[in-house]
Amino acid sequence: MSELYSLFSHVINRHRLASSQLVLGFSGGMDSRVMLALLAQYRDETNCECCAVYVHHGLSQHADEWAKQCQRWAQHAAIPFFIERVQLDTDSGESVESLARTARYQVLANYINADDLLLTGQHSDDQIETFLLALKRGSGPKGLSSMAQAMSFGAGKIVRPLLAATRVQIESFAITQNLDWVEDESNQDTRFDRNFIRHHITPVLMQRWPHIHQAVARSATLCAQQQVLLEELLQEAMQEAKMPDGSLSITALSHRSELARYQLLRMWLAQLGESMPTQEHLAMIWQQVASARIDANPRLKLGQSEIRRFDQKLYCIQTYQDISDWQAMIVPDQSVTLPDGLGNLTLSSNGASKGIALPDDCHQLSVTFNPEGLAACPSGRVGSRKLKKLFQEYGVPSWLRRRTPILMHRNQVVAIANLFVDRDFSGQDCELIWDK
């Protein structure tokens, strides 16, 4: 049994359950090629379920050739193989590295069910690169903890069985086993920070300090432990600040020191799956959003999301497309598909609590999201009010007021989904059902 296989099997055995499927993220590079060979040997010994997934980013002219080669290697190893093609929005402003990584993991998550393990081929040289990149960004303990050997991923875990191995050990195994692999030409491009570190920094560090791998691993582990301890100590404060709707209480945060407040913000954003904000962004969240004047409607762009304030709470919301101009006709007992993933709207005559009286010309009913200039009088009240004021009364955050379906008859408001029916259309013919 080789030393590398012993390491691989030991790590897998620590995390694999009887029901676990092993899913290999297979690029065809040296690291993942070695992982395929190790996985095939492990499968033969344990009879576990496994597969390999190649994510085709379309970034290289050789990508189709690599995909076919990976398929041949997987077939030779009798491991089920899948190709997933993704398209990257290279005009988004994010780095190609970041876009490719995000797309890759989004696709791979679809293969991970409960208890399954996603296997990736990172090793200790990669850990040095990740640590130094975090250091370059000025990261704290969480960033400097770099890559964990295992962590939650989708419904299962991501496991890095070779994280304690060096690139030299992996290459030696590949040569001994007569393995061939694909060479991605982009790995030589030192315009990418990771490649610059790999080719110009790590070799110098290793020459000066041969045990730098172990030193970085220890530092990363200590940072991870400090981060876990910090979160344990602030758990009670987090429970106090976190609201049932996922928002964060500004009042609760204001009772904490600045250091504790910023850490609570980090923990909150991490729980939401957001990228870690810089110290500058944390200050802006508190000063420009949480502490903005009471009549303001502050917002702060943070990656693909926005930090907003409503009712003395902070919200982290996805940036949405403008659907103000969207509208569609609706007829009783037929579903209308709403835009931008907002679900379906049905005017149902089978509802238990119907609430709406249909006009004679019900073919003139429509759905819109634009409340501009509209007014209504909720059933049971006297006098109409602008929808802007009614949304405020019903506690609808400002960013949801143009994402809440409005049922119209000609130019009159009939109902606002999940809020109220207008007094002039109150009755027992139909119920407006918003299935999100």
Phi, psi torsion values for 302, nearest 5 degrees: -140, 95
Same domain, 300 and 283: yes
Which pLDDT does position 92 carry in this prediction?
62
- At residue 319, does pLDDT exceed 90? no
The token pair that represents 204 in the structure block: 């110098």
Same domain, 42 and 102: yes
Same domain, 344 and 284: no
Same domain, 306 and 337: no
Which CATH number characterizes residue 262's domain? 1.20.59.20
3-state DSSP of 227-239: HHHHHHHCHHHHH
Cα–Cα distance measured from residue 333 to residue 347, given in angstroms and rounded to the nearest whole number: 5
How many structural domains comprise the chain? 3
228 falls within a domain: no
Same domain, 208 and 270: no
pLDDT band at 236 (very low <50, low <70, confident <90, very high): very high
Between 170 and 103, the more confident residue is 170
Last residue of some domain: 289, 318, 347? 318
140 labeled part of a ligand binding site: no
Mean pLDDT for 177-205 is 89
pTM summary value: 0.76
246 falls within a domain: yes
Mean pLDDT for 261-266 is 96
Cα–Cα distance measured from residue 266 to residue 153, given in angstroms and rounded to the nearest whole number: 19
Phi, psi torsion values for 241, nearest 5 degrees: -85, -30
Same domain, 358 and 389: yes
The model's pLDDT over 331-359, given as tens digits with 9 standing for 90+, comes to 999 899 999 999 999 999 886 567 899 88
Q: Which of 27-36, 223-232, 236-245, 348-357 comes out lowest in average pLDDT?
A: 348-357
The model's pLDDT over 42-59, given as tens digits with 9 standing for 90+, comes to 999 999 999 999 998 877
The token pair that represents 371 in the structure block: 């409340």
Domain that holds residue 66: 3-219
Last residue of some domain: 204, 219, 234? 219
398 labeled part of a ligand binding site: no
Which CATH number characterizes residue 126's domain? 3.40.50.620
Same domain, 292 and 403: no
225 falls within a domain: no
Residue linked to tokens 């005009």? 91
Same domain, 355 and 313: no
Mean pLDDT for 111-128 is 95
224 falls within a domain: no
Between 303 and 290, the more confident residue is 290
Last residue of some domain: 258, 290, 318? 318
Same domain, 314 and 352: no
29 labeled part of a ligand binding site: yes
383 labeled part of a ligand binding site: no
Phi, psi torsion values for 37, nearest 5 degrees: -65, -40
Mean pLDDT for 312-335 is 92
The token pair that represents 335 in the structure block: 């579903």
Mean pLDDT for 304-327 is 91
229 falls within a domain: no
| β-sheet bridge partners, residue 82 | 53
Same domain, 313 and 331: no
In this structure, which amino acid lies at residue 45?
Answer: E
Cα–Cα distance measured from residue 259 to residue 265, given in angstroms and rounded to the nearest whole number: 10
- At residue 310, does pLDDT exceed 70? yes
Question: Which residues does 63 contact at the CB level (< 8 Å), separation at least 6?
Answer: 56, 57
For residue 151, give the nearest of 194, 120, 107, 111 by alpha carbon.
Answer: 120
Between 135 and 92, the more confident residue is 135
Mean pLDDT for 365-382 is 94
235 falls within a domain: no
Same domain, 120 and 44: yes
- At residue 303, does pLDDT exceed 90? no
Between 211 and 184, the more confident residue is 211
325 labeled part of a ligand binding site: no
Between 419 and 320, the more confident residue is 419
Mean pLDDT for 59-67 is 83
Which pLDDT does position 15 carry in this prediction?
95
Which pLDDT does position 100 carry in this prediction?
79
The model's pLDDT over 1-34, given as tens digits with 9 standing for 90+, comes to 689 999 999 999 999 999 999 999 999 999 999 9
Same domain, 194 and 275: no
28 labeled part of a ligand binding site: yes
3-state DSSP of the chain: CCHHHHHHHHHHHHHCCCCCEEEEECCCCHHHHHHHHHHHHHHHHHCCEEEEEEEECCCCCCHHHHHHHHHHHHHHCCCCEEEEECCCCCCCCCCHHHHHHHHHHHHHHCCCCCCCEEECCCCHHHHHHHHHHHHHHCCCHHHHCCCCCEEEECCEEEECCCCCCCHHHHHHHHHHCCCCCCCCHHHHCCCCHHHHHHHHHHHHHHHHCCCHHHHHHHHHHHHHHHHHHHHHHCHHHHHHHECCCCCEEHHHHHCCCHHHHHHHHHHHHHHCCCCCCCHHHHHHHHHHHHCCCCCCCCEEEECCEEEEEECCEEEEEECCCCCCCCEEECCCCCEEECCCCCCEEEEECCCCCCCECCCCCHHHEEEECCCCCCEECECCCCCCEEHHHHHHHCCCCHHHCCCCCEEEECCEEEEECCCEEEHHHECCCEEEEEEC
Please check whether residue 186 is in contact with residue 59, taking contact to mean a CB–CB distance below 8 angstroms: yes
Please check whether residue 404 is in contact with residue 323, taking contact to mean a CB–CB distance below 8 angstroms: no
